[in-house]
Amino acid sequence: MQAGVRDLRHAMEQKSKERQAWNLRRPPPKHRWHSPNALESPENLGPPEPGGTGFGYYFQDAALLWSNSTFIDYYIITPSQLGGTSTNWLYLTTTCRAQLGTEALVGYYQQDEAQLMVFDWARTASQPWQIGINLPTDHPQYLTVRLDEFGNPRPMCRVRNGTILLNAAEGAYLWRNEVLLFNFEQGDWDLIYTYEYVTDRPERNRFQPGANGYWGPIVETFGSYDLIQAIGFEQVRLFQDAKTNVFWLSAANSFLHREPVFQPITVAPNRSFVTYAGSRNPDSFPFRISGIARDEHNSLVTLEVGSLAARDFRIYNGISLGGQWTWLPVGLPVAGTGQTISLPAPAPLRMGVYKVGADYNAGSLCLIVNQPNASFQLSPAAGVVLPHWTSQPLSNRWDKTIVALPPGKYTIGFDSLPGLTAPPPQDLIVTNHGMTTVRAFYGTVAE
């Protein structure tokens, strides 16, 4: 563990009295504070606290089952403050599919700054709230602004939350809960919380229908909210039983819950969503029409647009009928690049009224390798490559993601490394709102 994280842990231990006082006003996550499998007696439990879901995903009972380890890895859209009006707490939380695992969540209390909080279901009889740290002011190394899968800049933190079976004997199963935060200044994970405990049967921790572990990434609500900032999750996936396969959330393993007060801004089924509460969408990523030209000889009009990535742009021709405007699409959609683009369209009349509309049209690529210093080229060049290769849990695999990719066919090629043979080029297809996964492994050069 890095020295900075040791200091952080020590400081939090010194503030235990302050933390205990703070615990009194923090409701436990997920509907009610209950024993997941009767390990604690009812008199030791806190009072049931109402908790609702504003928006988010729940796991299907028969999916994402595990035996020895389960980790959930996710970005949380983390504005410094919730904004608008909020009467109580709001959590951005998920389980890792373990009954006695942790919830590593971002919490907002009214207009307080964002806090990374850890609730340990293995310690509900004693002190389930274990960590609460301010992110924007005190620990900005755990925050970054990066493009989401739809090409929008978002403030984010990245969390990995897991449960591992360490040892097993008849009547004694030793587990460890872990929470890691990605340190964007160091480009690697910081382990911020661990806890070891014993159950008498493995079923006490592995997912069972009706027990803890059934909720995925959700916006958990305890009050009323209006005109808040954009919040949500990005690139949610699970690593289970030390397998190298990534389990992205999909319609086969999760389902979406909605409430009318929370409106979606973007949704990439089922792994990413951005939502808000209120009557006004807080997003404002404007584009500008910078020029218009008419070619009378060829009956064409061309609009110059300062575009945004991950969107298709199209001209609409306005027709006034009975005092109301009707807008009809003309010309073909043109993919935005983040730079100025030209939009041509037929213009048979000498006079016309035009506007430009934009629709999201992008996918993502997850690249998995066995060498963390791998380099590659995507042809045609497109999208935004995230800067860090990230280690996957319990394996010698690393990955990074390319976002805001226009749908289409691509070829990826890999550079050689000393003493290793490069993987062969691969062709791939990116679909709108989809995640394409490519695995590329370097081999040892035979002498």
Confidence check: pLDDT of 46 > 50: no
| Among candidate residues 230, 254, 277, the one where a domain is terminated | 277
Regarding whether 266 and 370 lie in a shared domain, the answer is no
pLDDT tens digit sequence for 290-325? 999 988 888 899 999 999 889 999 999 998 888 899
Overall average pLDDT of the 429-436 stretch: 95
Regarding whether 386 and 352 lie in a shared domain, the answer is no
2 domain-assigned: no
Confidence check: pLDDT of 183 > 80: yes
283 domain-assigned: no
| Among candidate residues 317, 342, 360, the one where a domain is terminated | 360
| Residue recorded with tokens 């695992």 | 101
Regarding whether 238 and 381 lie in a shared domain, the answer is no
In terms of residues, how long is the chain? 447
Rounded CA gap, 56 and 281, in Å?
A: 18
332 domain-assigned: yes
Number of domains comprising the chain? 3
Q: For residue 412, give the CATH number of its domain.
A: 2.60.40.10
Confidence check: pLDDT of 125 > 90: no
- 424 vs 348: which has the higher pLDDT: 424
Regarding whether 378 and 319 lie in a shared domain, the answer is no
282 domain-assigned: no
- The CA distances from residue 35 to 40, 42, 81, 131, in Å, are 6, 8, 32, 21
Predicted TM-score of the model (pTM): 0.86
Overall average pLDDT of the 321-342 stretch: 91
Rounded CA gap, 388 and 413, in Å?
A: 18
Regarding whether 252 and 263 lie in a shared domain, the answer is yes
Regarding whether 213 and 227 lie in a shared domain, the answer is yes
Regarding whether 144 and 14 lie in a shared domain, the answer is yes
Rounded CA gap, 418 and 294, in Å?
A: 56
Confidence check: pLDDT of 277 > 50: yes
Regarding whether 115 and 16 lie in a shared domain, the answer is yes
| Among candidate residues 327, 360, 393, the one where a domain is terminated | 360
Regarding whether 317 and 416 lie in a shared domain, the answer is no
203 domain-assigned: yes
Confidence check: pLDDT of 22 > 80: no
Q: What is the pLDDT of residue 285?
A: 85
Q: What is the pLDDT of residue 52?
A: 87
Rounded CA gap, 416 and 434, in Å?
A: 29
Regarding whether 177 and 147 lie in a shared domain, the answer is yes
Overall average pLDDT of the 126-141 stretch: 93
Overall average pLDDT of the 204-224 stretch: 93
Regarding whether 355 and 263 lie in a shared domain, the answer is no
Regarding whether 332 and 245 lie in a shared domain, the answer is no
Residue 403, domain extent: 363-444
